[in-house]
Amino acid sequence: MSATLNAELFSDYFDKVPVLEIPGRTFPVEQYFLDDILDMTDYIMEENGPFARKIKKGDKDKKFDFETELEACDVKSESTEPPKIVIRDENLTISQIVARYPKLSKKACKNLYLMDTEKINLELIEHVLTYIVSGHHSWPTEGAILIFLPGIGEIMSLYDQLIDSHTFSPNFKTSCPFMLIIPLHSTLTSEEQAMVFQKPRDGARKIVLSTNIAETSVTIDDCVFVVDCGRMKEKRFDSNRNMESLDLVWVSRANAKQRKGRAGRVMAGVCIHLFTSHRYNYHLSEQPVPEIHRVPLEQLVLKLKILPLFRNMGVHEVLGKTIEPPLKSNIDGALIRLQDVGALDKMYALTALGKHLAALPVDVRIGKLMLFGAIFCCVDSALTMAAFLSHKSPFLAPFGKKSEADAKRREFACSNSDQLTTLRAYRKWQQALKQSTHSALVFANENFLSHKTLVMLADIKHQLLGLLASIGFVPDMPGLRKKMYKDSVQALTGEELNCNGTNDKLLAAILCAALYPNVVKVLTPEKSFHMQIGGAIQRQPNPDELKFKTKSDGYVVLHPSSVNSNVGYFTSPYLVYQEKVKTTRVFVRECSMVPQLPLVLFSGCNLSVELHNGTFIVSLEDGWIMFQVEEHEVAEMLKTIRAELISLLEEKINDPSLNLLHHEKGNRIIKAIVQIITKD
C-alpha cells in the first residue's frame, strides 16, 4: 500500500526524518460518491424494498408522507442550517438530509433517506453498472469494470443476479456488448483467478467482482471503471476469547484512495464510491486498523523472548515501543496462551519447548505438532499436516460447484477428522504422482484439488524438515541442502522415524497435543428408541440434533466445510480444533475427534481422580472434561504414565539429539503410549 502509506507516522516515529515523495505515473480518475450518482443515474429506491432501511415506529404511526415532508423543505434555501458533521447520514431526518445535501434533487434526497447504508445494495450496483455500459454519459465507453465487494457471499449473489439480467447475461441478446463476468477471490482456483488478466474479445466488456484482494495484490491492467461498495471483511482477533472474527467493516480513506487508483492504470478512469461524500470526509478512519492490533501475538512474543537485544526488557515494554503498540490485554492473552501450550513457565520465562517453538517460523501449535511428530515417529505425516495448516488447504471450491467439491472432499473423510481427511487426499495424490505428473494432474482435477498447492505443500514439508534438523529433532542429512522437486521427506527420514505414520489414532492424539486447549465438547440429545420386531433399538441422532460447546464461548457450530458437520454420532464426545471464527455465529474450523485417553496424556493441565457413587471419575479443567474408569488402579496408572511422559518429553526437549528409540526407558514409554492410544 505504498501509494497510501502514512509517511508522517513513520517520519514522526524516526524523530522527524525527512520524507522524499516520488509520484508515480497515473492517469486522472474522476471520483464520484453516492450523493453524486443518485441524480446522475436516476436511481429509484423502493420504500419497502430489500435494501431500504426500516422506518422508525413513530414515523409509521404518523403515516409518514415523504412528499409532504419534502415539499416543506426549501431545497434551495441557503438559510437552512445543516446538521452537525458528527451526525451520520443514517441518523438524519429527511429535512436534515436536504439541508446537508442542498444540491440534490428531492427524489435523490428521498432515496438517500430510504437507503439502508449498512446493507450491500446489489440492486444499486447493477443500476450503476447498467448506466456505465449504456454509454449515456461522457465517460470512456471501453475498459474493464472492477467492483469491490466484501466477500465471496456477496460476489456469488451479484454474479447470480447479473447472470439472470437481460443486460449482462450472455444468455440474452441485447443491444449492449457481450459481458464477461469474472469473480475474483482468494479461495478460487488459480485458473479462475487468471481469467481476470485476459483481454476480452473485440466488442466485449469485462466485469470483475472482487474482494479487497484487487486493492494491492492483483492489478488488472485494462481497468477503467471502479465501483466501490465501501465495505470489506477484516479478520480481527479477540484475545480475551481466543477467537478470530471476520467482521464487515467500512473501508478507511486509505483503502478508498487505493481502490480509486485501480481505475487510472492505462487511461483516464472513473471511480464511483457507493457511500456519501460526507461519510468519506468525516466518518471513515484515515488508515485501516494496524495488523498488530488484530492478530494473535504468540509468535511475535516468542521471537522477542529469544532475541538477546531484549533480554533485559519485558514483552510489554518492548511492544510498547512499537510504532502503534498493541493493547496490554492482547499481550497478556498471548502470554497466557503460550503458558497453555507449555512454551512459557509460570513466571513467563521461556521453557525448553518454548525455545524450540521460537526457532520454528510457524504458529506455536503447528510447531508443537512437528515436535510431537518427531518424538512419536510419524514425521512425514506430521509435517504434511503442519504444511497445509500453516499454508492452506489443497481442496478447492470452484465457483458454482461448491456442493460437488464438498461431496468429493467427503469421499476422503476418515476418523472424523478434517486434518486426517486432507492428509489422506495428499497421500492419494502422491500415489498418482508416482505414476506420472499427468496422472497427478488428472487426479487433482477430478477431486477438486489444487495441483499447484499440493506441489507447494511438498516444498513446505521439505523446509519444515530442515527446521526440525536445525534444532536437532531429526538427524541432519545431506539431502536437506538440495533443491527438491518432489516430496522426499519420507525417503530422507527413513522407516524408523515414520513407523507410526499411518496410525490414525496416534495422529489424532498428537493433534490433540498440539491444539489443546482448543477442545469442543459434543452434547447429544436424550436417548430415544424405535421399535422393531426384535425389540427396542436406540435411535442414532441426526447431525442437526447435536450441540457443540467450548469452555470459554458456550455453544459453537462446526463450519459447513468440515467433514464432521454432517456426522450424527461420535465415538468420543470431544473434538480438537485449529481455530474459531465469528461471523453470524461462532464457527469451529478444521476439527478432529480425539479419544479421551490422549486428552489425559497430552493435555498438560491438572488431572484429578475422584470417587462418585462407586465409580472413579478422571477429570480435567475443573471437571469440564471428565470420564469414568472401572478401577482406581487404571486411573492411577494413567497418572503415572502421564507423569513419565512429561518427564521424558522434558528430557527430549532439553536434549533434542536424544534418540528415544534407542533409550531403554524412553522407548518403553513411547511404545506403551502408542499401544494404549491405538487400542482405545
Q: What is the DSSP string of 242-296?
A: TEEEEEEEEPPHHHHHHHHHTT-SSS-EEEEESS-HHHHHHTS-SSPPPGGGSS-
Instruction: Return the pLDDT at 174.
Output: 55
The cell 477503467 sits on which residue? 224
Instruction: Return the pLDDT at 75.
Output: 46
Residue 526 φ/ψ, nearest 5 degrees: -60, 145
User: Which has more pLDDT, 597 or 520?
Assistant: 520
Q: For 399-440, how does the pLDDT look when each residue is reduced to its tens digit (9 = 90+)?
A: 778 889 999 999 999 999 999 999 999 999 999 999 999 999
Expressed in angstroms, the distance from the first to the final Cα of the chain is 53
Instruction: Return the pLDDT at 531.
Output: 61
Q: What distance in Å separates the CA atoms of residue 111 and residue 264, rounded to the nearest whole number?
A: 30
- pLDDT over 90 (residue 177): no
- pLDDT over 60 (residue 63): no
- Contact at 8 Å (CB) between 106 and 134? no
SS3 356: helix
Q: For 239-266, how does the pLDDT look when each residue is reduced to its tens digit (9 = 90+)?
A: 777 778 888 999 999 999 999 999 987 8
Instruction: Return the pLDDT at 661.
Output: 78
Residue 31 parent element (H or E): strand 29-32
- pLDDT over 60 (residue 77): no
Instruction: Return the pLDDT at 642.
Output: 85
Q: What distance in Å separates the CA atoms of residue 354 and residue 650, rounded to the nearest whole number?
A: 11
- Residue 535: CB atoms within 10 Å: 7
Average pLDDT (115-122) is: 93
Instruction: Return the pLDDT at 482.
Output: 67
- 477's CB contacts (< 8 A; 6+ apart) are 469, 492
User: Which has more pLDDT, 360 or 122?
Assistant: 122
586-593/554-558 β-pairing: parallel
Match domain 122-273 to its CATH number in 3.30.1360.100, 3.40.50.300, 3.30.2270.10, 3.90.1150.10: 3.40.50.300
Strands (E), 551-660: 554-558, 574-582, 586-593, 607-612, 615-620, 625-629
Instruction: Return the pLDDT at 175.
Output: 47
- Of 572, 579, 580, the residue nearest 597 (C-alpha): 572
Per-residue burial over 468-496, b if 16 or more Cβ lie within 10 Å, else e, is: bbebebbeeeeebeeebeebbbbebbeee
Average pLDDT of every residue of the chain: 87
Q: What distance in Å separates the CA atoms of residue 378 and residue 380, rounded to the nearest whole number?
A: 6
Q: For 472-519, how does the pLDDT look when each residue is reduced to its tens digit (9 = 90+)?
A: 888 887 766 666 668 889 999 999 999 999 999 999 999 999 999 899
Percent of the chain with pLDDT over 90: 50
Instruction: Return the pLDDT at 301.
Output: 95
The β-bridge partners of 350 are 344
- pLDDT over 70 (residue 468): yes
The β-bridge partners of 589 are 579
Residue 144 parent element (H or E): strand 144-148
Q: What is the DSSP string of 90-137?
A: GG--HHHHHHH-TTS-HHHHHHHHHB-TTS--HHHHHHHHHHHHH--S
Residue 521 φ/ψ, nearest 5 degrees: -95, 135
The region of weakest confidence among 17-26, 345-354, 564-573 is 17-26
User: Which has more pLDDT, 540 or 246?
Assistant: 246
Q: For 336-354, how does the pLDDT look when each residue is reduced to its tens digit (9 = 90+)?
A: 999 988 899 999 999 888 9
Helix orientation angle between 152-163 and 122-134, rounded to the nearest 10 degrees: 50
Domain locations in the chain as residue ranges: 33-114, 122-273, 297-510, 517-593, 595-679
Give the pLDDT band (50/70/90) at residue 530. Answer: low
Give the pLDDT band (50/70/90) at residue 76. Answer: very low
- pLDDT over 70 (residue 176): no
- Of 298, 293, 368, the residue nearest 333 (C-alpha): 298
Helix orientation angle between 122-134 and 34-41, rounded to the nearest 10 degrees: 60
What's the pTM? Answer: 0.82
- 292's CB contacts (< 8 A; 6+ apart) are 300, 322, 324, 325, 326
Q: For 574-622, how does the pLDDT look when each residue is reduced to its tens digit (9 = 90+)?
A: 999 998 988 888 999 999 999 988 888 888 667 788 877 778 888 887 7
Q: For 183-229, how does the pLDDT look when each residue is reduced to its tens digit (9 = 90+)?
A: 988 777 677 778 888 888 877 889 999 998 888 878 888 899 999 99
Q: Is the dihedral of CA 591, 595, 601, 603 positive or negative?
A: positive
Q: What distance in Å separates the CA atoms of residue 597 and residue 512, rounded to the nearest whole number?
A: 10
Instruction: Return the pLDDT at 204.
Output: 83
Average pLDDT (65-93) is: 72
Q: What distance in Å separates the CA atoms of residue 8 and residue 48, rounded to the nearest whole number?
A: 47
Query: CATH top-level class for 297-510?
Result: mainly alpha
Q: With DSSP H G I counted as helix, E B as strand and the rest as coil, what are the percentages for the chain, rounded to 5?
A: 45, 15, 40
Q: What is the DSSP string of 547-578?
A: EEEETTTEEEEE-TTSTTTT----SSSEEEEE
Instruction: Return the pLDDT at 312.
Output: 87
269-273/29-32 β-pairing: parallel
Strands (E), 421-528: 519-523
